[in-house]
């Protein structure tokens, strides 16, 4: 019995060592590879663009604003090129696709990183309108799908990589609004895409960050928006939740922001590995909270995860004894 256990442990160790060795190997000729990154005005996209530029890749950085593009160009080499992209606009996506095609030529596009995203408005689902959901879904999911479909022929030509930024909230929905819904959708789209493109030699990876201070969620504006949403509710709904619900939500949001990491490199390192490793992973969890709390919690029975998450949620006035 002990001999079998030792043999199994040794086999597992060898498999892990083999995986570690394969994942350390990078693809060749980085200076010839083009990578398009969306959402490069700030946060993960901006840091990844700089990181890949330092490694000699030809970075095509898509920004929403000219000021964001100018700031990125000022801190990078002449190899990096910027373009304005609104992922909610089909005309903008078509224009950028033509722009990318001109630059990559017959080599194709090695990497597409779908990073652009928003999180607000976030609130209890009952407080939101259809338009509030659509605003987030258009950027985080529909825009991601359209950008991917437009550029897939170029990625397939290069036998390259697609990297979709989801979230640990794509595994476990902890709050209302379109954000978690959109990230569940990104997970589903990426899974089907990975299986479809594998025969063409294209790798698809999902990045699942935990809590990071990217500027996408600022507690001040978030809480003010939350209060405005509460104020527009019918009197009956306001009475059901109560003003204390809003105040506790504000305190919880501030606490989560303080616990979030301001060090973004764990996420961008995962993105870079998905783009450059000979053997990229299908999924990358980034952040201590993602690895130690939310991912394990996503595998728990619903009654247990509900109880743990519910402990941190505000209590509506109508439920207070």
Spatial contact of 274 and 284, defined as CB atoms under 8 Å apart? yes
Give the list of residues 6+ apart from residue 82 with CB closer than 8 angstroms, or none: 40, 60, 61, 62, 63, 69, 70, 72, 73
Cα atoms in the 13 Å half-sphere on the side-chain side of 222: 20
Count other C-beta atoms under 10 Å from residue 66's C-beta: 11
Q: How far is CA 77 from CA 30, 49, 73, in A?
A: 15, 11, 7
Instruction: From the candidates 179, 241, 245, 284, give the one annotated as an active-site residue.
Output: 179
Output helix, strand, coil percentages for the chain, rounded to the nearest 5: 60, 10, 25
d(CA 92, CA 83): 10
Count other C-beta atoms under 10 Å from residue 303's C-beta: 8
Whether 179 is a known active-site residue: answer: yes
Spatial contact of 44 and 117, defined as CB atoms under 8 Å apart? no
d(CA 156, CA 193): 12
What DSSP letter does each residue of 82-100 carry, written as one string? EEE--TT-HHHHHHHHHHH
For the annotated catalytic residues, the residue numbers are 179
């Amino acid at each position: 019995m002990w001999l079998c256990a030792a043999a199994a442990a040794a086999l597992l160790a060898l498999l892990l060592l083999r995986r570690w060795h394969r994942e350390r190997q990078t693809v060749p000729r980085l200076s010839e590879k083009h990578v398009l990154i969306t959402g490069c005005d700030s946060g993960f996209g901006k840091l990844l663009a700089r990181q890949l530029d330092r490694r000699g890749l030809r970075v095509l950085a898509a920004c929403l604003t000219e000021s964001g593009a100018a700031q990125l160009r000022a801190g990078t080499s002449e190899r990096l090129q910027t373009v304005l992209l609104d992922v909610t606009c089909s005309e903008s996506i078509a224009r950028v696709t033509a722009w990318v095609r001109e630059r990559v030529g017959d080599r194709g596009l090695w990497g597409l990183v779908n990073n652009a995203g928003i999180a607000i408005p976030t609130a209890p689902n009952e407080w939101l309108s259809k338009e509030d959901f659509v605003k987030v879904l258009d950027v985080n999911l529909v825009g991601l799908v359209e950008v991917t479909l437009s550029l897939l022929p170029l990625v397939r030509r290069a036998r390259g990589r697609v990297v979709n930024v989801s979230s640990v909230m794509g595994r476990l929905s902890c709050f209302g609004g379109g954000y978690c819904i959109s990230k569940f959708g990104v997970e589903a789209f990426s899974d089907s895409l990975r299986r479809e493109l594998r025969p063409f030699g294209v790798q698809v990876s999902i990045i699942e960050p935990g809590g990071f201070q990217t500027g996408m969620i600022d507690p001040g504006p978030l809480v003010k928006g939350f209060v405005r949403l509460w104020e527009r509710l019918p009197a009956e709904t306001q009475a059901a939740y109560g003003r204390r619900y809003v105040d506790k939500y504000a305190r919880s949001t501030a606490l989560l922001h303080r616990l979030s990491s301001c060090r973004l490199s764990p996420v961008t390192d995962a993105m870079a590995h998905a783009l450059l490793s000979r053997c990229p992973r299908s999924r990358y969890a980034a952040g201590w909270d993602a690895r130690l709390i939310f991912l394990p919690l996503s595998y728990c029975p619903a009654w247990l995860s509900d109880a743990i998450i519910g402990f941190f949620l505000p209590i509506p006035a109508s439920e207070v004894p």
